[in-house]
Amino acid sequence: MDIALANYFLPEGITDYFDIVSHKTEDEKVHFYLEEKNILPEEFKSETAKSKGFTPEITVEDFPLRGKSVLLHIKRRRWTLVKSGLIVKRDWTIVAKGTRITSEFASFLKGIIR
């Protein structure tokens, strides 16, 4: 899918942090499958870390599109800090306080934090 086109259908700013790995339409639903990009959170940039895959996928319902439900299947990335062995994930509350994302995207992210 063309990323520029996808930006019209997804929460603003989401492609800054997630890759669209696939999409499909079935019945009355549009599915977008998203994986967090392998970009270490700012607070751990000074550390050596290894990507250790993803958290279990969650599904979030987004705004409908032409009468069809939109489901976002999201996998958040996790990293292991080499020195300490600590497993870390991006702190979406810190990201939401920044100026790069909209309130809509911040609200969306708050919905996925568990």
How far is Cα 68 from Cα 45, in angstroms, rounded to an integer? 40
Domain that holds residue 81: 3-112
Whole-number Å distance between alpha carbons of 92 and 100: 12
Q: What is the pLDDT of residues 6-32, one digit of tens each?
A: 778 787 778 888 999 999 999 899 999
Residue 53 tokens read as 């895959």
Question: CA 77, CA 6: separation in Å to the nearest integer?
Answer: 21
Predicted local distance difference test score (pLDDT) of residue 99: 39
Specify the pTM: 0.76
pLDDT at 100: 45
The number of folded domains in the chain is 1
Reported as a single tens digit per residue, the pLDDT across 28-85 is: 999 999 999 999 988 898 999 999 999 999 888 777 888 888 888 989 999 999 999 9
